[in-house]
Each structure stands twice: as structure tokens, then as C-alpha cells.
Amino acid sequence: MVDPFQTTSSAIVQVFSPYEIHFNEINFSKHMFIDKLYIMEYREMMRMKAVFIDRDGTIGGTDQVEYPGEMKLFPSTEQLIQQLKDLGYLVYSFTNQPDVSRGKVMEVDFVKELTKFGFDGVYLCPHTHEDGCHCRKPLPGMLIRAAEENDLQLQECIVIGDRWTDLLAAHEAGCKKILVKTGAGLESFHKYKNKEYYGKWAHVQPEYIAENLKDAVQWIV
């Protein structure tokens, strides 16, 4: 493999930010060039990782859905999101909100709120179970879409949630899984310990079981 810092000629090198990939031309000190193989290997090495965090019961609120403006965040939630971003992770919210399709609340209000909390992006399923969509958790549609849109390697990504639907979606997508005991998490934990999940639900094994979001982030870092 050619060392890019030992070359003289101009070469195109990828420079990464958490949001996009730029191509900058830079000059090196000796006469060589970066071959395509090096570019591909460097891009794979630097591919962004992401943490997906559920909304209700995970970053705040209870085990019930609370509309934008109603939910109280858990202590330090915004700081914890920023901590992950400072470490180079993209941080996304992914959430089921079926009342959007029922006309009771606007999707844009969720997006505005979650963006204000510090998320890099929001993946929201607005459908009910009866709609038969591909994005509603426990299906992995939102995670797969995020991977396609952001050049993510899902095996290197992490999902944090309080419901087994969050973890099953992560399992189906190949992500690492963290269950938090806030919201509906304690009930989910007891069902897991008592082996009350069946079929593919029983195949889900969390990498970590956290007391709360802060504990989950500490495990990641």
C-alpha cells in the first residue's frame, strides 16, 4: 500500500465529516500517486458509524407516546447525544409514531423537536401496524434506509431502545443492541429473563442491558 504522505504529485484524497464526503486536492512531498485500491481501503476504514436511539421511554418520557412539546427529557440526554457525536458517531433518532398517519400529530413537529435535541437525523415510521409498511419496528426498514443514505456499515452501528421491537429491528439489520430499563424497558427485561419471547423474538440477545441512556452511552465509550 502506498503511503499518501510520501508522495509529490497531486492526488485526490477523501476527507470525511460527520455529514458528507468531500474530495480535496492536496500536494505531497515526493513523486508518487494514490492508487484506487488505497482509496477504497481508506474509505472502508473511515466509514462512519452510527448510534440509533429510540424516542419514547429511551431519551425521556414514559412507556406511553408523548407528543412534541409534552415529553420531558431524562437528565443529560442532550449532553449524551453530543458526547457520542464528539467521538465521531452519527446519532439518529428512530421511532414509530402511528398517530402521524391517523392525523393526530404532524411528522414535521417530531423532526423539529428531535433535531433540536441534537440528533443528526430522524427516521420516523408514521404508519400503523395495519398499514403493512416495511419501516415500522420491529422491521429493520428504517435502519436499512439510514445505511443506504449515509454509507453506514450496520454491523458497526448500535441501537439503543426500551422495547424488544427496537432490539429485534437491530437484530434483523445486524446492529449491536442495548436495552435500557427506562420506559417499557424494565418490562422488556423481565420478559427476556423469564424467557417469555418466542420465535425470532427469542433469538435476540442484547450486547448490553443498561439502567438508562447514560449507562448505555458509558458502555459505548
pLDDT per residue over 58-76, tens digit each? 999 998 989 999 999 999 9
Report residue 47's pLDDT band, with 50, 70 and 90 as the boundaries.
low
Q: Show Cβ contacts of residue 75 under 8 Å, excluding neighbours closer than 6 positions.
A: 214
Residue 56 bears catalytic tag: yes
Confidence check: pLDDT of 191 > 80: yes
Q: Which of 3, 54, 86, 99 is catalytic?
A: 54
**Full strand arrangement of the beta sheet holding 158-161:** 121-125, 90-96, 50-53, 158-161, 176-180, 208-210
For 157-163, what is the mean pLDDT? 98
Report residue 23's pLDDT band, with 50, 70 and 90 as the boundaries.
very low
Q: Show Cβ contacts of residue 44 under 8 Å, excluding neighbours closer than 6 positions.
A: none
Report residue 125's pLDDT band, with 50, 70 and 90 as the boundaries.
very high
**pLDDT value of residue 37:** 47
Domain coordinates of the chain in residue numbers? 4-45, 50-220
**pLDDT value of residue 12:** 32
Residue 151 bears catalytic tag: no
Confidence check: pLDDT of 81 > 70: yes
Confidence check: pLDDT of 204 > 60: yes
In the chain, % of residues over pLDDT 70: 79
Q: Which of 35, 56, 120, 162 is catalytic?
A: 56
Report residue 28's pLDDT band, with 50, 70 and 90 as the boundaries.
very low
Mean pLDDT rounded to a whole number for the chain: 85
Residue of 151, 43, 57, 45 whose CA lies nearest to 95: 57
**pLDDT value of residue 2:** 41
CATH code of 50-220, in short, is: 3.40.50.1000
**pLDDT value of residue 154:** 97
**pLDDT value of residue 14:** 37
